[in-house]
Chain A
Amino acid sequence: MADKIVNKTDDLIIAGRSFQSRLLIGTGKYDSFKETRAAINASQSKIVTVAIRRVNLGQSPDEPSLLEFIPSDEFTYLPNTAGCYSSDEAIRTLRLARELLDGHNLVKLEVLGDPDTLYPNVIETINAAEILIKDGFDVMVYTSDDPIIAKQLEDIGCCAIMPLASLIGSGMGILNPWNLEIIIDKANVPVIVDAGVGTASDATIAMELGCDGVLMNTAIALADNPILMASAMKKAVESGREAFIAGRMDKKLYSASPSSPTKGLIK
């Protein structure tokens, strides 16, 4: 959404839910649950993604679980369909997630097309989104940076459009800001850059373009100091958001308008 009309606290609103942070973070690739939690704390994120997998059947009864470290009264879980390559797999995964999370229906849909690039399969994604929305899910959808597909996903009822900045886990930053701008300009639901952010300036640029939020995992988890990077990302997202709302000056090749007075020069 490109308009700059903000609510009083500038919360991120998704499917009628209000969130105080525009940074969404993943919980994968950390060394421990303790580090995961510390990074989330430093990021001040309110929405955290989780993956759905078979439980370890050999576990001892007192083995800790991820959800114990990120309790549902403090965070909103965003179960994802990472690793799904068909709409059927994604739908099955999210129905299980809803049962796991006691009816929680806000989900991240991603249907991948290729294990090398993890590029989204937009046809399978659209098919899955249609069925999930009819089944009562609020679908935040990972997609390519194709503006036509983004609009189609909104039209079928997705509650947030989440185009990639670049490939998942690549840290390559925003490869096509022009497409992102078109997506943002046309969208009437939140646009959240998901995947490809490598460092703080990438997140700031996404927000300066008018994105409503940024979702990332690897940029934080694989930083040399994940906790410090989580803090940097928090500031980057806030900074970019403020700059977007403030409205940047026009770019000029050169300026005949110096910042200091032209009168009163010492001669």
Chain B
Amino acid sequence: MKMYINGSIKEFNGVKITATELITQLNLNGKRFAIEKNGEIISKNFLDGVYFNEGDKIEIIGAVGGG
């Protein structure tokens, strides 16, 4: 299945993936981030219960230097 992550198309095996699995695959475990699915923020406490499917638009953000 294909999903849009931070504006880029990414290909994944299967028809769905949990948010926790996605974070692991992206090497983001232990990092500070916030995640949004189709414009809705997903609480860090509920990553296991959220599934991503074909065509979902996912944003994963962090803090960077800025003024």
What is B's interface to A at a CB cutoff of 8 Å?
5-8, 26-36, 39, 41, 43-44, 59-67
Contacts and interface: CB of A to CB of B under 8 A. Distances in A.
Given A52-B61, A55-B33, A96-B34, A82 B67 contact: yes
Contacts of A49: 66-67
Contacts, number: 103
Nearest to A95: B41
A262 interface: no
B41 A96 contact: yes
A115 interface: no
A36 B30 CA distance: 22
A36 B65 contact: yes
Contacts of B39: 92
A187 B15 CA distance: 56
A28 B67 contact: yes
A218 B67 contact: yes
Q: Which of A52, A60, A82, A221 has the most CB of B within 10 A?
A: A52
Given A65-B32, A67-B32, A51 B44 contact: no
A61 B27 contact: yes
Interface of A: 25-30, 33, 36, 49-55, 57, 59-61, 65-67, 77, 79-80, 82, 92, 95-97, 99-101, 168, 215-218, 221
10 contacts: A28-B65, A29-B67, A30-B65, A50-B64, A52-B64, A54-B6, A55-B60, A57-B6, A82-B66, A99-B43
A26 B28 contact: no
A51 B63 CA distance: 6
B29 to A, nearest CB: 7
Contacts of A54: 6-7, 59-62
A99 B27 contact: no
